[in-house]
A and B are shown apart, each in its own frame.
Chain A
Amino acid sequence: MSRPKPEPVQVVKERRDAALADLVARVPYISFMGFEFERRGDELTGVMPYRPDLIGNPMLPALHGGALAAFLEVTALISLSWSMAWPRIEAGDTGDILPKFPKTIDLTVDYLRSGLPRDSYARAEITRAGRRYASVRVEAWQDNRARPTVQAMGHFLMPEPVA
């Protein structure tokens, strides 16, 4: 009885990071908004680095509610696609393993606090991923994780699985 030698950690990390970078790079709107994704194992954290053109209320100043809504929606979509691609990434599949993006059916955004002119972070929790529909809860915060800025619940139409 001998089990195969585990892959070197660097090889595994490079494969995961390359897949994540490919996924994110597919969407022009993500680079326009400057969103980034950080990874720890399979957990993703969306980052919206502060930029003056994200402001929606110059008097306060506060981030535009629409920019925050977009950040939550993008984090939910990337997290869903990532979770679909993850088994293929781990299996070491090469080639085009990234699925098409799910389609947003609806998104309910709950504005809890005004967005400060600082970086924002977001994590999505996939409450249910069925064959056709998925429900995702997503939350964003800034300086203090316990004081979320916005939260949202969304429903998504899943793409056909990659053959």
Chain B
Amino acid sequence: MDDARTQMARQFIESLPHCAALGMTLEQIGDGEAEILMPYSEKLIGDPETGVIHGGAISALMDTCAGASVMSHPKAGFATATLDLRIDYMRAAKPGATITAHAICYHVTRAVAFVRVSATDGASDVPVAAATGAFTVERGKS
């Protein structure tokens, strides 16, 4: 993906109201891969006893990152929507840590884009969560 398109994708993702509300920043995008960061914030806490952020916020991050990877795939168009997303929560995210989501759009057909996403907090090699999803592809793009 050239710099102009990367810049456009960055502005687009970061301007999405819900992504801005969660403080997401796009780190990298291109050729069917994307990386998005979400810094720790007290308003995202799901368990006040431990300070661990809520799974819902991580779902939103992974959904966004998966969608971004589809947008950047050469065979898919810019517009896409989630068909389904299955999220596995492997462990609690470390309180205070920024969560990094990395998505790979590994296959695109005329109608469907298939994506794998993982979310890490830098505290362990085991991701916090992993997801697989199917996304829509614009008609006539592939």
Question: A residues within 8 Å of B by Cβ?
Answer: 26-29, 32-33, 52-59, 62-67, 69-71, 73-74, 100-101, 103-111, 114
Contacts and interface: CB of A to CB of B under 8 A. Distances in A.
B61 A66 contact: yes
A33 B43 CA distance: 9
B54 A27 contact: yes
B83 interface: yes
B86 A106 contact: yes
Nearest to A63: B18
Contact of B18 (A27, A67, A110): A67
Given A29-B43, A53-B18, A56-B16, A66 B64 contact: yes
A134 to B, nearest CB: 14
Contacts of A59: 79
B18 A64 contact: yes
B17 A58 contact: yes
A74 B45 CA distance: 12
A111 B59 CA distance: 14
B60 A55 contact: no
A69 B59 contact: yes
A56 B18 contact: yes
B56 interface: yes
A101 B47 contact: yes
Contact of B54 (A29, A64, A65, A107): A29
B55 interface: yes
A54 B16 CA distance: 9
Nearest to B54: A29
